[in-house]
Amino acid sequence: MYEELSQRCQRGEISFGDTMLFNLDEYVGMSPDNPRSYHAFMRRHLIDRIDAPEDQVNLLRGDASDADEECRAFDRAMLRPAA
């Protein structure tokens, strides 16, 4: 699915320019630069291959020092109005 979406975006058939992206999974304790993290997976397979503005990409940090606050911040991001 990610391959199809990214190819369509690269061909100009679709755009993610007005899309808020939220990735709901991550491994606790894993940093975003770990190639096995969902953060890295999503960047590699979708986010870095489409035209979504960086400020509209929301990925959980598995290595956050306060996991509860990371989740609260993620919840707040889902509630903020789109630009």
pLDDT of residue 80: 79
pLDDT, tens digit, 9 for 90 and up, residues 31-82: 999 999 999 999 999 999 999 999 999 999 999 999 999 999 999 999 977 6
pLDDT of residue 82: 63
pLDDT of residue 40: 97
Task: Locate 68 and state its tokens.
Answer: 């509860």
Between 15 and 81, the higher pLDDT residue? 15
pLDDT of residue 42: 97
Paired residues of 23 in beta bridges: 59
CA separation for the pair 43, 8 (Å, rounded): 17
